[in-house]
Structure formats: structure tokens, C-alpha cells
Amino acid sequence: MPHDHHDHDHFHHEGMSPSGHPYRADNDGPLTYWQRMEIAVRELLVEKGLLTPSEIAAQIEAMEARSPANGAAVVARAWVDPAFKARLLADASAASREMGFDIGPLHLIAVENTAQTHNLIVCTLCSCYPRNLLGLPPDWYKTREYRSRAVREPRAVLREFGLDLPDDVTVRVHDSTADMRYIVLPSRPEGTEGLDEAELAILVTRDSMIGTGLPRQP
């Protein structure tokens, strides 16, 4: 019989995410060496009094609460509130905290797309990402292909994402080599004058905040 997550519900709620959805089915595959290491390391840290199970659960929950929707809310606010946009471009960490997002020690810089400029974010040395605002990065962001090529042929990379930029738009690539993380402030789409902040936020995709996409059209 396939393993049923509900078997564990009566004692731990193990296997369920905080939002109540089952995790990916890997719990049922053969136990791997690295999974054994994770379990062993976690248990040793708890037994030595360095971590508690509730801290670990709370951290997983905090990370799951972070998603591109947080960044989208920041972008939409900047689209409707020029004073907020100025604060965002001056200090994106402070502006994100002002909106109530718990971004921890993140040092965030917002880079603005305009009619003449398109920004693209990469980390060539590892896979640094503004995870404390946007959540965990997409898999492609961590690949050799993206890390290698984004700094040398960003326009070719963008075409693979369906974005063909005209020659008169300058591409600015940002390599997150040290302590800063970046978020793109995309341009507000045409024809959105009648939309409110919440409606605008729905148009803001994850990729539009990394620079590999544009916001949706309404």
C-alpha cells in the first residue's frame, strides 16, 4: 500500500506543509545516503541543545511564507505610489520591511526597468537570490547554463525565455557576487490605468522580478 501521509497526522503532522498540502512524494522512495545524513545531523543538533524541532518547523514555515507574491506586492506599490518607489530605489530592504515583509538581514537593491533599460539578475559564483523576499529560486537560476551565459550573452538567454529586446534597449546585468541581492522593478504595463494595487500585483511574475520576463498584460 502506498504510504499515506495521514498515517502520521495523529502525532506529528509530518509530511504535510504548513498550508496543509502534502509534500512531494520523495518520502516514499528508498532512503538515500544524503537523507540519512540530514536526519542524523538534525538529530545531533537537537540533542546537543543547539536547535529545537519547533525552531526547524518555524523556519520551514517562514520560508514557505516567502513567495514571489511578496515581491509582486512591493512592485505594485511602487507602481501606484511615487514616494514609495523613490524609497524602494533608495533602499529596497527598508521599503520591503515598511510593507511588513520579514526579510531578515537581506541587503536588497531594486533596479528599475525603463523604456531604455532592461535589468537581469544572476549569480555566477553560486546561486545567490533574494530568497528572503521572493522565496526559493527556480531551478533554472541555479544551472550551469544560466550562470555561465547570463553575463556573456544575456540577450540570447532572454530570447530563450521568450523575451526579444530591441537593440535600442540597454541590458544591465547584475552579478550578485557578494553581500547584495537584487530585484528588478519592471515597467508598469500599458493599459493598466484603471487597475488598483492588488489587481496590479497579480500581473507581476517571478521572472519579471529576476529580469527573465515581463509583467503579464491585463
Partner 1 sequence: MAERVRVKALTPPGHVRAPWYLRGKEGVIERPLGAFRNPEQLAYGLPAEEKPLFRVRFLMRDIWGEAAENPDDTLDAEIYAHWLEKVDHHAP
Partner 2 sequence: MSDWDGRRWHDMGGQAAGPVPMEGHDFALWEKRIDALMVLCGQKGLFTVDGLRRALEDMGEDAFEKHSYYERWIAAVNQNLLESGVYSLEELADRMEQVAARGPTYAEAQHG
CA-atom Rg of the chain in angstroms: 20
Amino acid at 184: V
How far apart (Å, rounded) are the C-alpha atoms in residues 218 and 216? 6
Please, which residue, 45 or 151, has the CB nearer to partner 1? 151
Choose the contact partner of 99 out of partner 1, partner 2, none; CB within 5 to 8 A by kind: none
Q: Residue 167 touches which of partner 2, partner 1, none (CB < 5 to 8 A by kind)?
A: partner 1
9 lies in the binding site for partner 2 (CB under 8 A): no
Part in contact with partner 2 (CB under 8 A); list of ranges 60-68, 79-87, 91-99, 189-197: 60-68
Q: Please, what sign has the CA dihedral across residues 98, 102, 107, 108?
A: negative
| Closest to 1 in 3D by CA, of 19, 28, 23 | 28
Q: Which residues are within 8 A (CB) of 81 and not within 5 positions of it... i.e. 6 or more apart?
A: none
Residue 128 burial by Cβ neighbours in a 10 Å radius (0-12, 13-18, 19+)? buried
Exposure string for 50-64, b = 16+ CB within 10 A, e = fewer: ebeeeeeeeeeeeee
Q: Count Cα atoms within 13 angstroms, Cβ side, for 153.
A: 8
Residue 115 binds which of partner 2, partner 1, none (CB < 5-8 A, kind-dependent): none
Could you confirm whether 67 is annotated as catalytic? no
In angstroms, the CA 97 to CA 91 distance is 10
Q: Which is nearer to partner 1, 157 or 201 (CB)?
A: 157
Q: How far is the CB of 177 from partner 1 (least distance, A)?
A: 5
Residue 176 interacting entry, from partner 2, partner 1, none, C-beta within 5 to 8 Å by type: partner 1
In the complex, the residues that contact partner 1 under the rule CB under 8 A are 107, 109, 124-125, 151-156, 167, 170-180
Asked about 187 being catalytic, the answer comes back as no
Could you tell me which stretch among 31-39, 68-76, 80-88, 107-115 binds partner 2 (CB under 8 A)?
A: 31-39
Name the grid cell of 48.
Answer: 546537543
Least Å distance, CB 77 to partner 2, is: 27
Q: Which is nearer to partner 1, 64 or 175 (CB)?
A: 175
Active site residues: 123, 126-128
Q: What are the residues binding partner 2 (CB under 8 A)?
A: 3, 8, 12, 14-15, 23-24, 26-32, 34-45, 48, 50-51, 55-56, 59-60, 63-64, 122, 124-127, 136, 138-140, 142-149, 151-152, 157, 160-161, 175
